[in-house]
Amino acid sequence: MIRPFVLRKRWPVAAAAASVLALTGCGGGSSSASNTGTGGAQVEQAKAAVTAAEKLQTAWTGPTSSPKPPRGATVIYVSSDQNNPFASSFGNYFKDAAAKLGWHASIIDGKGTPSGWSDGLRQAIASKPSAIITSAQAPSVQQPLSEAAAAGIPVLGLHSAAVAGPDPTDHLFTNITSDPAAAGKVMVDWAIADSGGKAHIVVVGDDQYPVSNVKRDAMVAAIKACSGCTLEKNANVPVGTAATDLPTQLTSWLQSYPKPLYVLSVADFYFDVGLSSLKNLNVPKSDLRLAATDGTKQAYQRVRSGQYQLVTVPEPTELLAWQAADEVNRAVNHQPPSTFTQPIYLVTKDDINSQGGDKDQFFPQNDYKTRYGKLWGVS
């Protein structure tokens, strides 16, 4: 993943740049964007996209019906890593939703490794639950997922695949996530508007995560569609080594590329662990402008204080947990999953305290808990 009112910002002047959503492959190195459109029109389009993403989210666009929930269902959440704030918070919120339904929910910690994810899934399968939810990466745990399918246990993914929706190839009843391509594109729109269409951009992600690649592809496509922008580098930085690798790479990029340099990351985690050296190096805030997705507590604090990061695209973690309960209900009732995806939301310093921002989280103001409760007949 917080958006309250529509703010009119004073954007820097210059020319050039909006973005298209067409996805392209990730590449490395440096490339200049080219486009036949006019720069001024591109900047105006980017500003409009940013303004739209900042709006207060009051409309309910989720399901309007749901089957009657069974009593006493058991659901196990196999967390990718309980040290990850997003994964951990999701589990706590899911327990709240399960309690509303009279279900029994428990959590197994996958401890951040494919072997831990596989062990956790097999432990869950052995318990013969009504359903399993996991934030493990589906491509890394195909064998235990196929074992769950063979046992007739529906598995729901949380950020487990590249996009939202059913994923029979990976044995997922559905995958729950915000739209990763939209999240990637809106960060580029922000950079275009903020720079007046002349942004020098580095994209950061991890090749091994499908959702990371979708975000990066969307960012690369949007940058290349900006006539005045430059994609300086599309960097693969493994999450596992980000704490040591990113500080060194940031220093190198700042030395090599024009400033201000826009660094757009697929996850706030990179900046959570990789910015400590910048203060020691006395890097001026004006030289580096950061944006990322997920909306970690640290990201909110950085945006609030202006510590290099100016934008985050947060996940509505609690809403996703209640959606997961609704999707489990559909799975155990042998009905198809919903097609619901909550619109993305852009957090800047101007609206940092809105829609849960005062708690460093994103809570859309569309009354989702009450609405789900009514769907389930338990409100």
- Going from the N-terminus, what domains does the chain have, and what CATH number goes with each? 74-177+317-335+368-376 (3.40.50.2300)
Residue 149 pLDDT: 97
Distances, alpha carbon 343 to alpha carbons 177, 178, 183, 209, in Å:
10, 7, 9, 22
pLDDT digit string (tens) for 249-261?
999 999 999 999 9
Surface-to-core class of residue 267, CB atoms within 10 Å of its CB (0-12 exposed, 13-18 middle, 19+ buried):
buried
CA atoms within 13 A on the CB side of 354: 20
Low-confidence ranges of the chain (pLDDT < 50): 1-37
Q: What are residue 175's DSSP bridge partners?
A: 157, 165
Distances, alpha carbon 220 to alpha carbons 179, 271, 363, in Å:
16, 20, 29
Q: Quote the distance between the C-alpha of residue 344 and its chain's center.
A: 9
Rounded Cα–Cα distance for residues 33 and 258 (Å): 15
| Whether the Cβ atoms of residue 177 and residue 159 lie closer than 8 Å to each other | yes
Q: Quote the distance between the C-alpha of residue 203 and its chain's center.
A: 15
Residue 17 pLDDT: 31
Q: Which tokens in the block code for residue 339?
A: 């097609």
| Whether the Cβ atoms of residue 304 and residue 349 lie closer than 8 Å to each other | yes
pTM value? 0.84
Residue 6 pLDDT: 31
Residue 38 pLDDT: 55
3-state secondary structure the chain: CCCCCCCCCCCCCCCCCCCCCCCCCCCCCCEECCCCCCHHHHHHHHHHHHHHHCCCCCCCCCCCCCCCCCCCCEEEEEECCCCCHHHHHHHHHHHHHHHHHCCEEEEEECCCCHHHHHHHHHHHHHCCCCEEEECCCHHHHHHHHHHHHHCCCCEEEECCCCCCEEEHHHCEEEEECCCHHHHHHHHHHHHHHHHCCCCEEEEEECCCCHHHHHHHHHHHHHHHCCCCCEEEEEEECCHHHHHHHHHHHHHHHHHHCCCCEEEEECCCHHHHHHCHHHHHCCCCHHHEEEEEEECCHHHHHHHHHCCCEEEEEECCHHHHHHHHHHHHHHHHCCCCCCCCCCCCCCECHHHCCCCCHHHCCCCCCCCHHHHHHHHHCCC
